[in-house]
Amino acid sequence: MAAQDFTSLLRSSTVDFDFYEALYRHFHSRPELSCQESQTAAKAASLLRSLNAGYEVQQSIGGHGLVGVLKNGAGKTVLLRADMDALPVKEDTGLEYSSKVTMRDNDGIDKPVMHACGHDFHVTALLAAAERLAKMKDSWSGTLIVLFQPNEERAGGAQAMVDDGLYDKIPVPDIVLGQHVMPQRTGYVGCRVGNIMSEADSFKITLYGRGGHGSMPHRTVDPVVMAVGVVTKLQTIVSREVDPDQFAVVTVGSLQAGQTENIISDRAEVRVNVRTQNHEVRNRVLASIRRIVKGECEASGATKEALIEETTKFPLSVNDEAVTAEVHKSFEAFFGDRFDPNTPCSTASEDYSIL
């Protein structure tokens, strides 16, 4: 189908925007943490079935993963994907439909929960697309798969669905398309050939000292001082070791040690997040982190070698040239000057490319 024909078809077919705005507010006010998206998945499954359009719905794939398959004759198989999970963030927007939800996370700690990354919008948009494409079945042929993925925020959902036999349960797609809302002008969209979202690696680093009373620091090996040294030196990796023409981010998002002010802890935990857009840069940054941690531990007299554990890993998202060229044609025809065909590669990360 030509891009212009597709654009005319879209403009002649509408959905009930009031319904989908209400649905978006529903999802926004009821966020669920990674691996706990049971109600979101159930709502999406119920709505797919209520379309009575022939979607074959399967649930509980790789956790709370959900797919709907709509077979419509010969043609390519296209998979559209939305992620469902929310973040452990307290919402302070003041919106009438703001989240008041708290949930217990995987560590057993009660956390406020918010859709701070737009997954509520992703789910709503995919359900609207599922309805719209079902109503337009006379105008296209092939197989449509709508996939609602759990646990994107912890980088585990896509792989879990694949490992749970996703492609034994549904047709293998020829094309996989994802989406992500971004902080930019309303109504504008962007895409690009090649790198579109960054690679990301996260670690928990445990530093081992010798605990004791705050009044006798000479009898201890203070892991807080050790951790501060590590954190300070990590900030020099990007500024002094990475080529200024290359992209890299090293963020320390958490430093935890001890429970009270007059006791020196025997260990400290530092959580580090790395973003890169080039495999060589990634390898150099990760090697530098290990070198700095080892060196600081030796300099501080650590009681044993630091433990570095990978907590999450997101692959680099790279858009296929031929598929992206077809997407660009349709976007340019529909959005006109509101479409950017060379949007910058995002510093954020996704596990969508695993699918």
pLDDT digits (tens, 9 = 90+) for 44-60: 999 999 999 999 999 99
pTM of the model: 0.91
Q: What is the pLDDT of residues 166-186, one digit of tens each?
A: 999 999 999 999 999 998 889
Which of 37, 83, 131, 152 does the annotation list as catalytic? Answer: 152
pLDDT at 184: 85
pLDDT at 15: 84
pLDDT at 19: 96
* Rounded Cα gap, residues 269 and 230, in angstroms: 11
* Rounded Cα gap, residues 126 and 179, in angstroms: 9
- Tell me the mean pLDDT in the region 152-172: 96
pLDDT at 284: 97
Q: What is the pLDDT of residues 226-258, one digit of tens each?
A: 999 999 999 999 999 999 999 999 999 999 999
Known catalytic membership, residue 298: no
pLDDT band at residue 222 under the 50/70/90 scheme: very high
Asked if pLDDT for residue 2 goes beyond 90, the answer is no
- Tell me the mean pLDDT in the region 144-167: 97
Asked if pLDDT for residue 84 goes beyond 90, the answer is yes
Known catalytic membership, residue 152: yes
- Residue 213 DSSP symbol: E
Torsion of CA 43, 76, 72, 49, to 10 degrees: -10
Taking the CB of residue 246, how many other CB atoms lie within 10 A of it?
Answer: 14
pLDDT band at residue 4 under the 50/70/90 scheme: low
Q: What is the pLDDT of residues 336-345, one digit of tens each?
A: 999 999 999 9
Which of 32, 85, 91, 201 does the annotation list as catalytic? Answer: 85
Q: What is the pLDDT of residues 269-308, one digit of tens each?
A: 999 999 999 999 999 999 999 999 999 999 999 999 999 9
Asked if pLDDT for residue 12 goes beyond 90, the answer is no
Q: What is the pLDDT of residues 311-334, one digit of tens each?
A: 999 999 999 999 999 999 999 999
Residue 138's Cβ-count burial label (10 Å; 0-12, 13-18, 19+) is exposed
Asked if pLDDT for residue 13 goes beyond 90, the answer is no
